[in-house]
Amino acid sequence: MREQSLPYAPPPETQRLIDELYREELIEARAMPPEQKLLLSEELFAYACSITMAGIQHQFPEADEAERQRILEQRLELQRKLEGRA
C-alpha cells in the first residue's frame, strides 16, 4: 500500500507573496477596459493553443502540421462538448 503524501503548501512568507501578487492582478484586471480584456483573452488562447500544439508534436512526432492542426481542432471540439457548448 502506498503512503499518502500531503499536498504541497508553500512556506507562509511565500504564500503571502503569492496572495499579494494575485490581489494586484485582480485589481489590474478589474480596472482594465473590456476591449483590452478581449485582446488579452485572444493572446491567452493563442498561447494555450501553442502549448497544446507542442504537446501534440511530442505525442505524435510523425504528424505533419496539418495533422497536428486537425488533432488540436478535435481536442477543442471535445472541450466544447464537455462544457456543454456544442
For 33-79, the three-class secondary structure string (H helix, E strand, C coil) is CHHHHHHHHHHHHHHHHHHHHHHHHHHCCCCCHHHHHHHHHHHHHHH
The predicted-structure confidence for 27-75, as pLDDT tens digits, reads as follows: 999 999 999 999 999 999 999 999 999 999 999 999 999 999 999 999 9
pTM exceeds 0.75, yes or no:
no
CB atoms within 10 A of CB 70: 13
C-beta of residue 71 within 8 angstroms of C-beta of residue 63: yes
